[in-house]
Structure 1
Amino acid sequence: MDRRSHASRAGRASSPHSTYHRAQSAIDAALPAVGGRAKVVLVLFAAFAAIFFLRLVFLQVIVADQYSAQAEESRTISFTTNPHRGTIYDRNGIVLATSVEATTIYANPVEVTDVAGTARALAGALGGEPADFEALLSKEGTSFVYIKRQAEVSEGERVKALELDGIYFISDTRREYPNGSIGGQVIGYCNVDGDGITGLELQYNDILKGTAGTYVAERGEKGFPIPGGVKEETPAVDGQDIMISLDIKLQDTVEQAVIEGMETIETDQGSAVVMDASTGEIYAACSLPLMNPADMESSEVGSEHVKAITQVYEPGSTFKSVSAMAILEAKKMTPESTMFCPSSISANDYDVSDAHEREDETLTLREILNHSSNVGISLATEAAGFEHLNDAIGRYHLTERTGVDYPGEGSGHVEDFENWGTIVGYNVSFGQGISVTPLQMVRFYGCIANGGVMVTPHFLISKPQTGEVAEYPTEVVTEDAEALSDLRSMLRSVVTDGSGKRADVEGYPVCGKTSTAEVPSEQGGYKEGVYNLGFCGFIDGASTNLVCFVGANEVPYTRQTTPVFNAIMTSAVKQYNITSS
């Protein structure tokens, strides 16, 4: 009971009624002779003085910091200052992505005195509908809305000239891509906040972006910063430039060749990669549909990645080169060794036959590759020992990521060797039951072209401002010069006498392998009547050691990608003045 009485008294101590009684008691004690009416006046005066004093203490001590901050905010403008994002150059110094000056226009809806009139003025200066701007200017509960981010500087100047109440401006930058869709998938794009979202803009965002700064300054009547009124400024630290391996001229050639080739093949799914087998530098890479980072609103679903890097597939007959290499390294056959190849074979209740019907016949290993015989490569691989093929898959890292500096690289898969049956060995020998990326196949063919030395595919070459040159690991996968020479000879025969004739470039020893692979179905098994086509090859002994892959997905059997390879390599020969030893 005593505690509740004490709490009640404590609660009344801060009320005006309590203050009055206390003041009266104090006056009675101090001025016993003062009359009743004068005493009431004195009591009221003392009570009001006490209330005023308490309010003054509240404002000056208790909430002083809060009101000071509000007053500061009302007469200052503060924002984050964006750094200048680094420029991306191609291998020849051509600008692929750069940041240009821009103006961000924003409003404080509280300060807009004529919403409808301001909306009409903004629409006249910036384009668009007045109703859209009116909706922004009418927002409640906020003192900041974007009118247009990263507008042209000229647009900002037009709006400034209108001297509209509550409309303010920030110096900004905007990302531009001068080449449009050419190389767009490799380069990637940034969002409006300056963050890389895809491609190399994402891969090297930390290098390109820099560090944002801060800016706080007093503002005048129209909202512009007052000269000399800067309260706080932390300068932004600009990002670094990078030079990449892409050659925008060859990239354009590759993209046009793929577009035209896929129209002829009658598919909208195609891809290509061109890599220097000696260095790992990727000169060109694309897949359809293309992406234009300067116009992302028009981009198609699936256009933002180079599928030859990010998506795996069953490689089909281009993988027969891996099996042939395993056989040659095992010293079980030479290119001219023969093997009886029936029209079909069976294993584990499955049949294996060639794509074209034929009679039983005896073929050399060279002819097996020339004619792309599934039966022949299956039997030759079995005779050499499936363990040699499994070993080659591991040594050549064919189901492992290559380490390319591009987001989302695929990795591939093959069944653990302990689970291989005969039919699995057969299927893997001709590129079924194993998944890889086209880039992994490019790296393998590059290793054959490069004397057994495997490189790391990559885009970054250097950082021009610091002079730093990127370095990448290489690996000697095989020192079997005889096997390497034999396989190159066999791949040359594929082009001169086999299925790859249309890939040949006049005057140059093109080596390579075609592929017509069945397409796995989501319901199991393989789709009927459509195939994934491909060709991967190089010019033997070339002064610029380029390897090129061209693929087309889900097309009729009778098509080939060899003409697209020919168009790309013919242009490359001229552009780089390639010679062959």
Structure 2
Amino acid sequence: MADDRRRQPRPTRRPSKATTAASASRRLRPQAEKKLAASTAKATARNSARAAKKKVYKPVRRVPLGNSPRRLRVVLVAMAIALSLCGGRLLQLQGFDSAAYAADGDQFTAKLPLLPTRGDLVDRNGQVLATTQPAVAVTADPTLTRNTTKDPERAARFAAVILKHLDLDRATLLERLNKPDTRFVYLAKKIPATTYLALAAELTELKLYGVFRESDPIRVYPGTNVAAGVVGFVNGEGEGVAGLERSLNGKLAGVEGQETFEMAPNGSRIPLGESKINPAVDGIDYQLTLDAELQWMVERRLEEQVRKAGGETGTAITMNIKTGEVLAMANYPGYDASKPGAADPDDLGNRAVSAAYEPGSVQKLLTAAALIDAGVANPDTKLTIPALLGSGDGTVKDAFAHGEINLLMRGVIAKSSNIGTIMLARQLETSRLRAYLASFGLGSKTGIGLPGESSGHLPPADMADYTRDQIAFGQGLSVTAIQEAAAIAALLNDGVYNQPSVIKSATDQDGKPVDLPKQDPRRVVSSSTSDQIRDLMQAVVDHGSDRLALDEYASGGKTGTAQRYDPDCGCYRGYTVSYVSAAPIDDPELLTYVVVDNPTNSDTGTTGAAPAAVDIMQLALPRYGIPPTTERPKKEKIKW
């Protein structure tokens, strides 16, 4: 086995590639040598390329760090310069150019007025006499609606939509839409809110922005002409110009609020922009003392009476004697508060408070009250009445022809004797008579709260004797219907004067009561004098025409016929006739006073005014639950 291992040949060294290649080359033919050379060249090229792609490491260059304190100073200087620039700009904006920039800012801030709701006027039973319905004023911003170089037909496109909904003149509308140098114009007022909503929807659909709205409510009067003289009306700006609408305008109107909000250049509200609201304060609501249904009946009856008497105008007042509350105050001719422009301007007032006239014989009640209260006379005072009585440079006679007659004071009033009244009045000092009449409210405004109230005319205390004679029977002085009615009511109300009123109560927007100014009641004559005045007034009805009496109610009254002063000629021409009725006479609650001016078919209060007053009382007494008089008092004597 050992010998066998020794015989085996020893391994030889493996030849290298170069040796192999060299040996092979010697055995190849020339063509093969060429191929081998080419292959060898390619391998050499590939190896060279790989060697070129190998990463070359270069030495790192290190920059030395700068000076830290120096770098800090540079940064601080740069920050100081930046802050100085910001501060200077801030100073410019807020210090020097603040007004200009604020004005520019306002161009994109809209301020919309918030109009309060005007207070309502209702009658004593809650029936609405004046109220407000929602409406709007349509406005535009011409900077958004006017024609431009890029859009020369812009205003026309707005107009085409607006004219579908609003009845406007196209030329005027285009002029407003193109108005220069303004951002606000009115296009229409008092437009129903539903109409505007339809207009706005169509403009929005067409992406036309620039038309807006303001609250512009419509004042309505459901009763049209009922109590128009008392209620009044407003003008196109919503301001009261007549009646309570005028005298209470500040209270009814309320306080305007404002909404401020940011607006985009195209006129639309920025949804998330700044917005601020200062709410409006609604006006005060007033409840009147008037009874709308009774008022309507009084107005119809007054119109009928004035027409029948052939008068120019008429006035009627129904009053609660115990409180001074006016239940009805009518004027003829009147007007429709919803259409005041259609009425004669002379009819737009309230003659019951503004028209002064000479009252005639109704005034004898006031003269009698002064005489009785002063202790000069009483209903049973005896007088011998002559046919004529001298006064000043003339003479006075009675409306009825007579010779010398004997009358009690009761008879003087019942017969309406001018001569007898003068004879009684001459027994009282002129100044004292005048003082009584002034205490009854003559010569001064009643303070009823209606605009245009006249104070009438009461001669001074040193008046001439003949003037004293005249005012004793109702000439030579002037009164208003409300003055005379309030004065007689006081004489019947146990001698206590109540300021006449047409306002019963008031409430604010929260329903809280509002205090109303009013004079305290005052005594003007004694209770005894009041009893004797009722005696005199009853005698007028008991001894006068049957047309003066009320059915089922004992009543008192007084007629009046006065010569009428005509300002056109500066002379007396025609008459003013009147009648006052009160019931139940034993404890008077209601009073009606009717005045007819310049009747052509009547020259006495008995025929020219009394029929209307009696009919009104027949309606009013049962309406307010006043029971009929069970027995009529016995008639008193009027002669001796």
- Please say whether Structure 1 and Structure 2 have the same fold, judged by a TM-score greater than 0.5: yes
After superposition, where does 1:267-346 map in structure 2 within 5 Å? Answer: 267-346=311-390
Which residue of 567, 570, 573 corresponds with 2:615? 567
Matches within 5 A, 1:343-382: 343-382=387-426
* Bigger mean CA offset, 245-254 vs 380-389: 380-389
Distance of 1:419 and 1:285 partners within structure 2: 33
Match of 1:5 in 2: none
Return the match for 1:235 from 263, 276, 279: 279
Deviation by residue 1:125-146 (Cα, 9 ceiling, x = unmatched): 1224334433433444332211
Provide the C-alpha distance between the structure 2 equivalents of 1:182 and 1:417, rounded to a whole number of angstroms: 41
Report how far residue 108 of structure 1 moved: 2.2
> Residues 69, 486 of structure 1: CA spacing in aligned structure 2 closer, same or farther, 3 A cutoff?
same
Does structure 2 retain, via aligned residues, the 8 Å contact 1:122–1:130?
A: no
2:554 equivalent among 509, 513, 526: 509
Equivalent residue for 1:520, pick from 559, 565, 574: 565
Q: Distance between the aligned counterparts of 1:358 and 1:430, measured in 2?
A: 18
Instruction: Give the structure 2 partner of residue 436 of structure 1.
Output: 479
What amino acid sits opposite 2:531 in the alignment? S
| SS of residue paired to 1:358 | coil
The answer to whether structure 1 residue 88 and structure 2 residue 118 are counterparts is no
Is residue 484 of structure 1 aligned with residue 513 of structure 2?
no
Once the two structures are superposed, what CA deviation does each residue of 1:212-262 show, in whole Å capped at 9, x if it has no partner? 111222335763433333433211122222222111111111111112211
Offset at residue 416 of structure 1 (A): 1.7
**Which residue in the other structure is 2:447 paired with?**
403
Q: Which residue of 1 aligns with 2:299?
A: 255
Q: Does residue 1:555 correspond to 2:599, yes or no? A: yes
- CA shift, 1:345, in A, is 1.6
Match of 1:531 in 2: 575
Give 1:320 deviation, angstroms. 0.8
Give the Cα–Cα distance (whole angstroms) in 2 for the partners of residues 299 and 542 of structure 1. 43
Structure 2 letter corresponding to 1:444: A
In structure 2, C-alpha distance between the alignment counterparts of 1:215 and 1:336, rounded to whole Å: 75
Letter in 2 for 1:90: D
* 1:209 shift after superposition: 2.1
**In 2, distance between residues paired with 1:298 and 1:391?**
44
String of CA shifts for 1:552-579, please: whole Å, max 9, x gaps.
1122343511111122111112321222
Match of 1:466 in 2: 512
Name the aligned partner's letter for residue 476 of structure 2: G
Please say if residues 517 and 532 of structure 1, whose CA atoms lie closer than 8 Å, have aligned partners that are also in contact: yes
Aligned residues: 523
Q: 1:563 to 1:117 in 2, by over 3 A?
A: farther
Which stretch has the larger CA shift, 406-415 or 540-549?
Answer: 540-549
Which residue identity is paired with 2:185?
A: V
SS of the residue 2:413 aligns to: helix
1:515 CA displacement: 0.9
Cα drift, residue 518 of structure 1: 0.9
For residues 110-166 of structure 1, give each alpha carbon's deviation from its aligned partner in whole angstroms, at most 9, with x where no partner exists: 332444554454343122433443343344433221112231112212321331553
Question: 2 CA distance for matches of 1:119 and 1:502?
Answer: 68
- How do residues 139-178 of structure 1 correspond to structure 2 at under 5 angstroms? 139-163=179-203, 164-178=208-222
Cα offset for 1:414? 2.0
TM-score (structure 1 length as normaliser): 0.83
Instruction: Report the Cα offset of residue 60 of structure 1.
Output: 6.1
Residues 278 and 450 in structure 1, CA contact (< 8 A), matched pair in contact too: yes
How far does residue 506 in structure 1 lie from its aligned partner after superposition?
Answer: 0.3
**Is 136-145 or 221-230 further displaced after alignment?**
221-230
Runs (5+) with no aligned partner, structure 1 = 1-55
| Contact preservation (8 Å) 2:557, 2:580 | yes
Go from structure 1 to structure 2 and tell me whether the alpha carbon gap of 1:70 and 1:327 turns closer, same or farther (over 3 Å shift). closer
Structure 2 letter corresponding to 1:467: P
Q: Work out which of the two has the higher radius of gyration on C-alpha atoms and give 1 or 2.
A: 2
CA–CA distance in structure 2, aligned partners of residues 227 and 190 of structure 1: 37
2:498 maps to 1:455 = yes
Aligned residue runs from structure 1 range 4-15, under 5 A: none
1:279 Cα deviation after fit: 1.0
Cα displacement (A) at 1:271? 1.0
Query: Shift of residue 371 of structure 1?
Result: 2.2
Tell whether the 8 Å contact from 2:113 to 2:214 is kept in structure 1 after alignment. Answer: no
Amino acid at match of 1:77: A
* In structure 2, distance between residues paired with 1:77 and 1:57: 26
Conserved 8 A contact 2:306-2:599: no
Change (3 A) 1:165 1:185: same
CA contact (8 A) 1:101 1:174 kept: yes
Tell me by how many angstroms 1:522 deviates.
3.1
Q: Give the superposition deviation at 1:496.
A: 2.8
Q: 1:543 to 1:98 in 2, by over 3 A?
A: farther
Query: Given the two structures, how large is their TM-score scaled by the length of structure 2?
Result: 0.75
| Distance in 1 (alpha carbons) for counterparts of 2:247 and 2:406 | 52
> What's the offset of the Cα at 1:316?
0.9
What RMSD in Å do the two structures reach over aligned CA positions? 2.8
Query: Helix, strand or coil for the counterpart of 2:403?
Result: coil
Q: Distance in 1 between matches of 2:92 and 2:157?
A: 40
- Partners in 2 of 1:426 and 1:108 — Cα distance? 71
2:143 is matched with: 110
Q: Per-residue deviation at 1:425?
A: 1.8
Q: Which whole-Å CA distance do the structure 2 matches of 1:497 and 1:138 have between them?
A: 79
Contact 1:289 1:302 (C-alpha < 8 Å) held by counterparts: no
Which deviates further from its counterpart, 345-354 or 387-396? 387-396
In structure 2, relative to structure 1, the CA distance for the partners of 1:514 and 1:210 (3 Å cut) is same
